[in-house]
Amino acid sequence: MKFCLFSTLITFLPPILAAQDQTTTSQSDSADSVKPAPVVTGGMAFNTTFSPGVQTLSPTINPLFLVPLGNRFLLEGEVSLSSDLEHNSGVWGPKVFNKEVEYLQLDYTLNPGLTVVVGRILTPFGIYLERYHPEWIRDLQVAPIIFGISHNQSMGAELRGATHLTRGVDLTYTGFYAVNSTANYFDGQRSGGGRASLFFSGPRLEVGFSYNRRLGDQRFNLFAWDATWNARAFPLDLRSEVFKTGTLGCGYWLEAAYRLNKVSHNAFLRRSQLVVRGEQYFAPMQSAMAGSDAMSMGSENYLPDRNTTRPMAGWNYYLTDAVKLSFAFGRSFATSQNQNIYSAGVTFRFGLAG
């Protein structure tokens, strides 16, 4: 079924506009004192990955924009332009140029604790897709294996926000519903679900739970648990996700990143970051896997057809705040498919405000 952004706006904007009248005068006066400006930002990356007999070159550019429309509306989007060049057994494969609209959405702020979003959205499931998948943000250029489960977009609407529960504890929440769409660059499957998390400001710890119900040709449930800890006393970040679904398999990853700026005053070490990750993926039965959309996706969306364990370690060097060099090594352990994985890349982040 074709789905367009205009029809979604027609459906959801009337109740949104009606709710605007319920806001307080003090909130309106505060919003009027701020003059929003459009922003264009994003990143460019060139990554290469090596495994036995295979080399993959992946140039990528991801521009994104934010355009305020008054004090309550925000139009935002991201476009992904990439190419995957594969050198296999001494032969270069065909050139592949990928164009994708990662998201294109209209946000409306009902109040400081609630925002309504309509359009093409990043499906709110887990934390990696929404927070860490851009190359200039992620600490390891090779995405976790289970990213093949969560990396998808939806056409629909969502409610998201946050509220203060008690001293040192905040609740964040997101709920969405998506329709089936076959439109070019705006495709998606019917689904619903959301994510909720608790943030503890004292230890700087967040724990979350996600649920997704796929309502396409195959109907099944997906569950996810995630945790993030940003240490206060030293520059250590810990992140983890656990996915469970009978149709696409299940798995987890745990990643730690440590900046060396507290170790030494040496300029080289102060610009360096060490990263380690451990992960496992448990494939479903072949009968459950057959016909699964995630299995046919390429690159980062690929899911192995067998149980896989993969430890990885990496090093990032920040030439400037906008330029990062990345190197990583890992080994994949799977039945009859044990192999080493090497990756190297450079990432440039840009930004322009109006």
State pLDDT tens for residues 196-246.
Answer: 999 999 999 999 999 999 998 889 999 999 999 999 989 999 999 999 998
Q: Each residue of 159-195: pLDDT tens digit?
A: 999 999 999 999 999 999 999 999 998 999 999 999 9
**Which of 325, 314, 320, 288 is CA-nearest to residue 303?**
288
Q: CATH number for the domain including 186?
A: 2.40.160.10
Range of the domain at 110: 5-353
Reduced to 3 states (helix: H, G, I; strand: E, B; else coil), residue 5 is: helix
194: left (phi over 0), alpha (psi -120 to 50) or beta: left
Cα→Cα distances 192→113, 177, 183, Å = 21, 4, 19
Helix ranges (DSSP H) in the chain: 5-20, 25-32, 147-150, 267-270, 286-289, 293-296
Q: What is the pTM of this model?
A: 0.83
Q: Is 116 within 8 Å of 73 (Cβ atoms)? A: no
For the stretch 177-180, contacts whose Cβ atoms lie closer than 8 Å and that sit 24 or more positions apart, written own/partner, are: 178/121, 178/123, 178/154, 179/1, 179/3, 179/155, 180/1, 180/3, 180/216
- E-strand spans in 167-235? 169-179, 181-183, 186-188, 191-200, 205-215, 219-230
Low-confidence ranges of the chain (pLDDT < 70): 1-34, 286-301, 354
Q: How far is CA 286 from CA 247, 248, 289, 292, 342, in A?
A: 9, 10, 5, 10, 29
| Number of domains forming the structure of the chain | 1
SS (H, E, C) 298-354: CHHHCCCCCCEEEEEEEEEEECCCCEEEEEEEEEEEECCCCEEEEEEEEEEEEEEEC
